[in-house]
Amino acid sequence: MFDDIRPYRNDEVATVIKKLINEPALQSSIASIKLPSIHKTVPKLAQLIVKMYLKVRSRKVNSIDDIQQEVAKYLYHLIETSCTNFSYNGIDKIDPNKPSLFISNHRDIVLDVAFVNLALYQSGITTVEAAVGDNLLNQPWVSDLMRLNKSFIVKRSEKTKRAMLTASKNLSSYIHHTLSESKQNIWIAQREGRAKDGIDKTNSALISMLLLNKGKERNIAEYLEELNIIPVAISYEFDPCDRDKARELAAKEATGEYIKSENEDFDSITRGLVGKKGHVHIEFCDPILGDFEDSKAIAQAIDTKIIANYKLYDSNQKAYDVLNNTPVSTEENPLNNRLQQLTKEQRQWLLTMYANPVFAKESLKS
């Protein structure tokens, strides 16, 4: 059931890991991060070292929980090397005995759900199954890797409207089944693609997809009780990919389009993982419960909670001040170094992406 989209099970771990260890593309990817000098000069040797390393580490990995513990170790290392602080709040709003559908804003391809998972893991709450779009799974080994780490597939590349509707119905059914029958927490981003401009807005089509499995005879309030949607506000003091996002937004504004390079998504994942992020904060909000008129009303309720609970940093406030022509000295602006070597248009976009959360909070007051 749901075999084409579900995460792998414990009885599939050994076979998938064996296949991954022997995957040259994965070996090369890890070598480029962990052994950059050797990989550049003697790539085959670097791949061999990675393969041997993976073989040794895999001897202790026999289940999905084992994989999650390995991921947690890597996350702790990442936080120590790329974050000045990691904090979270609102755990008391989560009933550990009732599965939750966490819907968060989306800033980083991998780390958004990773930080949510870490907060849950440290609090003794079951980690999530995470939604990942098939547009990011351009290689079979990437799909295998994600499904080993409790990810399920969101099909976005179906060719016809009928196929897309079928895929959406299947996904809606899978999410409800996983929450109600498997008693497993789920995470999904509030929209497809990262909020590169800093505007966190839930796509109502996502909510419509979730309601496809409801059935006409049931009311929205009853179904929301079963889904137990908990909005999550994820706040990064600094975005390691901010300059790339600014260049993309400026290019789209100037020409109407932006064409990704072949390895751009992978490069963004890598930069997001290792780049300096400053303080990262996770805020779990109150569940979305009650009667709503439609998907748009539910999406708006999620947005309100995420915006209200988003943690603002000096980086956000200073960008807001600059855009509002409030005098800010170079020494006072934490974004100063990030603005270097960008065009005027690109600098404007970088400031805008940091300032937009402030604008959003201001709009809630009006």
pLDDT at 330: 65
Query: Taking a C-beta distance cutoff of 8 angstroms, is the pair 26, 145 a contact?
Result: yes
- Amino acid 263: pLDDT: 72
CA distances from 352 to 91, 332, 339 (A): 31, 17, 12
Q: Contact at 8 Å (CB) between 7 and 64?
A: yes
* Fold of the domain built from segment(s) 63-309: Glycerol-3-phosphate (1)-acyltransferase (3.40.1130)
At 6, the pLDDT band (50, 70, 90 cuts) reads: very high
What the block records as the tokens of 134 is: 């098939």
Residue 76 corresponds to which tokens in the numbers above?
């702790």
pLDDT in tens, 18-42: 999 999 988 988 888 789 899 999 9
Task: Give residue-wise pLDDT tens across range 222-232.
Answer: 999 999 999 99
Question: How far is Cα 279 from Cα 43, in angstroms, rounded to an integer?
Answer: 35
The reported pTM is: 0.91
Spell out the domain ranges in the chain: 1-62, 63-309
- Asked if residues 19 and 139 have their Cβ atoms less than 8 Å apart, the reply is no
Average pLDDT estimate for 63-82? 87
